[in-house]
């Protein structure tokens, strides 16, 4: 089964490639497409519509409800409430015959509420009260496309009885169910990748490393959280090998190592040795001419000579500028090492040496700590939401609500004021609020700590504005949920009726926990730390040798390329002699010898073919041997008729 964004477009192609595959529409993108029809995406009506859309789309089956209930009872909760049960249940998207009436009932409710606003002349000025925009032909086509996905069954979960596909998987370790539906996790991973790569210019190496690490960790978390796999100490095999080799170099034995390589496991019947665990065959050890330099000398002898020369050069640089003939010897008194003075000097020396090599831990500075210090321990505390349960509302919250309503009624503050600091702006309201906070604090001190006086928190104008927006949204949602609405009652009745008529569709299945046995890795050892072994473990053109694990492909020959090979007639001041494109297309100074990657172009400037289509990627542009794409290119490069590219 596969979830895609454009299911009706790519279904035929995917089925031809993978016969029998089920192609479904991603619910995340389907719900997101409704934003084009909403009047405002952040309004109370939009939030109400999304909530009703989720009620219409998902339904908890009876078997799933009973499974979670039995599980909670087995954990000691004898009488779990419906809220506690639905916290762990996984919903199912019904079949088209059940889902289509639910969607039509929701749309009838939305259109009815919008038509009531169209009739009311006083309400037409405030378009935020509408659910949908006035339907244009383009919006009608989008609405029909959304209904078409429902009618074709693109959103409905497959029936377990007919297909045998179970999308609800229960983790055998935590007994929490997960749904293998939608591409929401991929969208979340992509969002996090964009946040990690937040620099305007990111190198290819860093981007490749960050993206690979992020998705590797994401897949590792999914294996553990969803499939119940035993978490590995570390999924980076080369780092575990490096830590083990470092510990063994310090004197630890193999039995004392805390970590063993867990993944990837060793394949049955396959014996491979690469990197630190590789033992060279005798043919490699005895043959001293396997790896040699250009002059034919053994590599080991050349390396020893280079190391000796480098050490001598380092010592010479370190002692440069010191005249041993003129330097006077430091007088050493034997008494200075006796008694308490010697012990004190020794302790001071030890403390100084420890201080140098000890890491200095500084307290992490946060924005909130600095804000508390600058505001004298009186930070801005936001209001609690209007829908907060009464049991969680304190006296401070009630006092803040009362003061806010008082200021709105007396001062006539308006959220649509032209300026924050005008008479009715919320910047002015912030100043008055701070004065009220100070006055209450003053009365508290004058009254010798009277308990009837409640101290409130300071507020910023942003928090005051946000509280007003939440109040307006809460009032609008309360009006939408008012009783005696026939279409809202019809929507609720439709949900109840289709829930009772819904046939069993899905059933949760338990996953078997995956345990990775210990073993040796196939590859991944840090080859940069074992260059000699890694080089000897590679076949170098010896096809008759079968002991090496892989073959190193010979590098493509690089043809010589320079400005002189193009002749004096080439216009190198206007065109880059390496790639052939104009120097204006290059960054400052990045042309000629400094030109890299064909200035980001994929085609050759001479023949127009792609770079990967050339036999030798170094012979492109002015050095290309193919027929030209445009005859004018040669005239631009060689304006003098006496010389041309063909006369090179």
Q: What is the DSSP string of 447-487?
A: TTS-TTSPP--B--HHHHHHHHHHHHHHHHHHHHT-S--HH
Specify the pLDDT at position 521.
35
- 538 forms beta bridges with 550
Q: Helix crossing, 184-196 with 204-227: angle to 10°?
A: 140
Predicted confidence (pLDDT) per residue in 45-96, tens digit: 888 899 999 999 999 998 889 989 998 898 888 888 988 898 889 999 999 9
Specify the pLDDT at position 534.
46
Phi first, then psi, for residue 582 (nearest 5°) are -65, 145
What's the CA gap between 375 and 249, in Å, rounded? Answer: 54
Instruction: Decide the pairing of beta strands 168-170 and 177-179.
Output: antiparallel
| CA dihedral sign of residues 572, 575, 578, 580 | negative
Taking residue 330's Cβ as centre, other Cβ atoms within 10 Å add up to: 5
**Taking Cα atoms as reference points, which of 231, 228, 223 lies closest to residue 174?**
228
pTM above 0.85, yes or no: no
**Taking Cα atoms as reference points, which of 217, 252, 218, 250 lies closest to residue 234?**
217
Specify the pLDDT at position 149.
93
Specify the pLDDT at position 103.
93
Is residue 154 within 8 A of residue 25, CB to CB? The reply is yes
**Sheet of 168-170, strand order:** 177-179, 168-170, 509-510
Specify the pLDDT at position 557.
56
Is residue 521 within 8 A of residue 237, CB to CB? The reply is yes
Predicted confidence (pLDDT) per residue in 114-148, tens digit: 888 777 655 544 445 788 998 899 999 999 999 99
Is residue 263 within 8 A of residue 230, CB to CB? The reply is no
What Cα–Cα distance (Å) separates residue 418 from each residue in 421, 464, 473?
Answer: 9, 16, 22
Specify the pLDDT at position 339.
56
What's the CA gap between 131 and 53, in Å, rounded? Answer: 13
Beta strands (DSSP E) in 90-203 are 168-170, 177-179
CA atoms within 13 A on the CB side of 432: 19
What Cα–Cα distance (Å) separates residue 421 from each residue in 283, 408, 417, 424?
Answer: 86, 15, 9, 8
What's the CA gap between 213 and 208, in Å, rounded? Answer: 9
Specify the pLDDT at position 372.
64
Specify the pLDDT at position 237.
58
∠ CA 622-626-632 to the nearest 5 degrees? Answer: 60
| CA dihedral sign of residues 314, 316, 321, 327 | positive
CB-based contacts of 404, cutoff 8 Å, min separation 6: 383, 464, 467
What's the CA gap between 604 and 628, in Å, rounded? Answer: 10
CB-based contacts of 71, cutoff 8 Å, min separation 6: 88, 175
What's the CA gap between 168 and 89, in Å, rounded? Answer: 10
* Residue numbers of the chain with a pLDDT score lower than 70: 120-128, 200, 232-239, 258-303, 321-346, 353-354, 356-365, 367-368, 370-379, 448-450, 480-484, 512-561, 641-648
């Amino acid at each position: 089964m596969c979830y895609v964004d454009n299911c009706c477009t790519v279904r035929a192609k995917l089925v031809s490639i993978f016969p029998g595959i089920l192609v479904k529409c991603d619910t995340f993108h389907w719900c997101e497409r409704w934003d084009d029809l909403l009047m405002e995406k952040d309004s109370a009506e939009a939030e109400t519509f999304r909530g009703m859309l989720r009620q219409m789309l998902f339904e908890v089956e009876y078997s799933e409800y009973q499974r979670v209930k039995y599980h909670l009872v087995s954990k000691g909760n004898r009488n779990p409430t419906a809220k506690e049960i639905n916290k762990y249940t996984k919903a199912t998207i019904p079949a088209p015959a059940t889902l289509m009436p639910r969607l039509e009932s929701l749309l009838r409710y939305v259109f009815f509420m919008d038509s009531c606003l169209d009739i009311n002349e006083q309400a037409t000025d405030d378009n935020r009260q509408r659910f949908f925009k006035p339907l244009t032909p383009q919006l009608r086509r989008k609405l029909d496309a959304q209904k078409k996905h429902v009618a074709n069954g693109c959103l409905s979960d497959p029936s377990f009885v007919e297909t045998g596909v179970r999308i609800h998987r229960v983790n055998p370790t935590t007994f929490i169910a997960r749904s293998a539906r939608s591409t929401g996790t991929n969208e979340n991973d992509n969002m996090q990748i964009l946040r990690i790569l937040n620099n305007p210019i990111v190198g290819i190496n860093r981007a490749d490393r960050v993206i690979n690490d992020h998705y590797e960790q994401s897949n590792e978390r999914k294996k553990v959280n969803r499939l119940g796999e035993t978490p590995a100490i570390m999924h980076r095999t080369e780092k575990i090998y490096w830590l083990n080799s470092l510990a063994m170099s310090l004197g630890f034995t193999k039995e004392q190592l805390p970590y063993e390589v867990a993944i990837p496991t060793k394949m049955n019947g396959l014996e491979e040795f690469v990197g630190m665990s590789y033992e060279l065959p005798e043919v490699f050890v005895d043959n001293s001419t396997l790896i040699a330099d250009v002059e034919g000398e053994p590599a080991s002898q050349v390396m020893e000579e280079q190391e000796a020369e480098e050490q001598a050069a380092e010592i010479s640089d370190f002692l440069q500028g010191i005249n041993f003939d003129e330097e006077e010897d430091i007088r050493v008194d034997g008494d200075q090492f006796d008694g308490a003075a010697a012990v004190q000097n020794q302790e001071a020396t030890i403390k100084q040496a420890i201080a140098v090599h000890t890491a200095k831990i500084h307290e992490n500075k946060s924005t909130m700590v600095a804000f508390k210090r600058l505001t004298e321990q009186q930070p801005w505390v936001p209001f609690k939401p209007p829908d907060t349960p009464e049991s969680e509302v304190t006296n401070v919250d009630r006092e803040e609500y009362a003061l806010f309503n008082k200021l709105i009624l007396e001062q006539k503050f308006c959220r649509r004021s032209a300026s924050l600091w005008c008479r009715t702006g919320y910047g002015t309201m912030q100043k008055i609020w701070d004065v009220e906070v100070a006055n209450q604090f003053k009365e508290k001190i004058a009254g010798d700590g009277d308990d009837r006086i409640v101290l409130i928190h300071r507020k910023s104008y942003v928090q005051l504005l946000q509280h007003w927006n939440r109040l307006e949204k809460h009032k609008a949602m309360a009006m939408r949920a008012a009783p005696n609405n026939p279409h809202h009652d019809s929507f609720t009745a439709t949900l109840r009726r289709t829930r009772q008529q819904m046939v069993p569709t899905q059933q949760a299945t338990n996953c078997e926990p995956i345990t990775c046995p210990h073993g040796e890795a196939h590859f991944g050892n840090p080859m940069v730390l074992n260059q000699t072994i890694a080089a000897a473990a590679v076949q170098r053109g010896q096809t008759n040798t079968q002991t090496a694990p892989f073959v190193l492909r010979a590098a493509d020959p690089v043809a010589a390329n320079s400005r002189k090979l193009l002749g004096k007639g080439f216009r190198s001041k206007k065109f880059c002699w390496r790639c052939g494109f104009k120097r204006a297309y290059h960054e400052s100074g990045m042309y000629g010898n400094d030109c890299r990657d064909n200035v980001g172009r994929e085609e050759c400037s001479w023949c127009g073919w792609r770079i990967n289509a050339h036999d030798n990627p170094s012979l492109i542009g002015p050095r290309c041997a193919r027929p030209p794409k445009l005859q004018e290119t040669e005239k631009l490069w060689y304006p003098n008729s006496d010389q041309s590219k063909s006369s090179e």
